[in-house]
Amino acid sequence: MDVDYIDALERLLLLDEEVMQRRYAIFRQVQTEHQVVYSEKLQRWIFTRYSDAREALRDAHLSSEQLPSVLKQLPSEIRDNLDADNPLLRQANKIMMSRDDPDHARLRLLVNKAFTPRMIELQRPLIERLTRDLLDQMGQQEHPDFIRDVAIPLPIMVIAALIGMPYDSLGQIKQWSDAGADFLGKPTDTIEVFFRMAGAAMEFNAYIRPHLEERRRQPKGDLLSALIAAESQGDKLSEDELIANIYLLLAAGNETTTNLLGNGLYTLLTHPDQLELLRQRPELADSAVEEILRYESPSQITGRHTRQELDIAGQHIGEDQSIMLLLGMANRDPQVFNDPDRFDITRKDNKHIAFGLGPHYCLGAPLARLEAQVILPLIIDRFPSIHLMADYRPHWRKNPTFLGLETLPVDLA
């Protein structure tokens, strides 16, 4: 029985449809019986509990550097031909999410100077306007699908406007961000995903360089201009650092926010009492969003590596080992959350770790929260009778890291 559950967990992480439907039952069983699991198949240590995931996210002995392990998985004939000064490898080494301090702290400080909570809050009127337009358009569709019609386009339009990229690039932005999200999220298909990501990064370089050049000559009020201008004690972002981290904002922010919006509406529609409560009390939108983040965490997994031998989570782990932190599982830990499988938009003291924690805590959390807080009350108000199609069965996207629905067809009548 015990081994079966670990096998089921591995199958889940390798995206077996059949086990996806009972993911939380599997999580609970593994979490109750094992603090840590070592998966031979995945070659990773898996931390199952909230307290250990929290500790690991804040532990400076654990590394976020991903590139060495990705390169290790490439066939040697490819790896040996990669020039150390290859521009894409150079840029990959500048992405703040996969750097450790002090490089990480420096990059984050500079990006933070431009990508400020104030700049995000200024997007509220734009988000409201775009949401109303997209909801109107969805209302005119013969077969409305919330994912296709609203949850995919909204985050792309918002981030494109914020960065200062024209709307005629939206299709390309989606492709580049999907390639990035696959790269961040699929630990098992590394080679194919690596090359798709490399192709997207090359196209993105060709696209963004002229825009950067133009903003240097003539700054505007957008994020590109603010990132170019960002400075701390005489230090500035280099061209490679700019491109790498603008790409990161696209890749880290689109699929995750799409999933938050889609998982949010799906969960409300499958919990009509909570939907009704939100309709009666729209001021609960903020705590509803926190509960959605906990209950169906859009980003289910993150990872760390050991740089040296280490005692953590009651385990002795050797040097150069990979650790998987199951954020979605941690957010259902009964040691921390009362009745964790109950979806309760009034939940108090909701200390979920859906946006991570510690030095790499999600930089885009205020933006993702704002989009969800705006959209949920608006959709309930605009379509009071909205419900799921009678024959709808959820199909989750094929990415173990990012939990989101392929489609969400809705009946608006």
Residues that bind ligand HEM (CB under 6 A): 57, 64, 96-97, 108, 159, 248-249, 252-253, 256-257, 260, 298-299, 302, 327, 354-356, 360, 362-364, 367-368
* Radius of gyration for the alpha carbons in the chain, expressed in angstroms and rounded: 21
Q: How far is the CB of 96 from ligand HEM (least distance, A)?
A: 4
Q: Given the structure tokens 């259902």, which residue do they identify?
A: 332
Q: Given the structure tokens 């979920």, which residue do they identify?
A: 352
Q: What residue number has its CB nearest to ligand HEM?
A: 364
H helix runs in 270-339, sequence order: 272-280, 285-295, 327-330
Amino acid at 63: S
- Choose between 29 and 177: whose C-beta lies nearer to ligand HEM: 177
Rounded distance, CA 160 to CA 9, Å? 37
- Choose between 8 and 152: whose C-beta lies nearer to ligand HEM: 152
- Give the three-state DSSP class for 324: strand
Q: How far is the CB of 259 from ligand HEM (least distance, A)?
A: 7
Q: How far is the CB of 254 from ligand HEM (least distance, A)?
A: 7
Q: How far is the CB of 147 from ligand HEM (least distance, A)?
A: 14
Q: How far is the CB of 54 from ligand HEM (least distance, A)?
A: 11
The answer to whether 107 touches 237, Cβ cutoff 8 Å, is yes
In DSSP terms, which residues pair with 323 in a beta bridge? 45, 304
Rounded distance, CA 400 to CA 409, Å? 23
Q: How far is the CB of 335 from ligand HEM (least distance, A)?
A: 20
Rounded distance, CA 135 to CA 377, Å? 12
Is the Cα torsion angle 261, 267, 273, 274 positive or negative in sign?
negative
- Choose between 6 and 54: whose C-beta lies nearer to ligand HEM: 54
- Choose between 37 and 330: whose C-beta lies nearer to ligand HEM: 330
Rounded distance, CA 119 to CA 162, Å? 8
- Choose between 65 and 411: whose C-beta lies nearer to ligand HEM: 65
Q: Of 197, 203, 172, 199, whose CA–CA distance to 184 is shortest?
A: 197
- Choose between 28 and 369: whose C-beta lies nearer to ligand HEM: 369
- Choose between 259 and 274: whose C-beta lies nearer to ligand HEM: 259
Q: How far is the CB of 162 from ligand HEM (least distance, A)?
A: 8
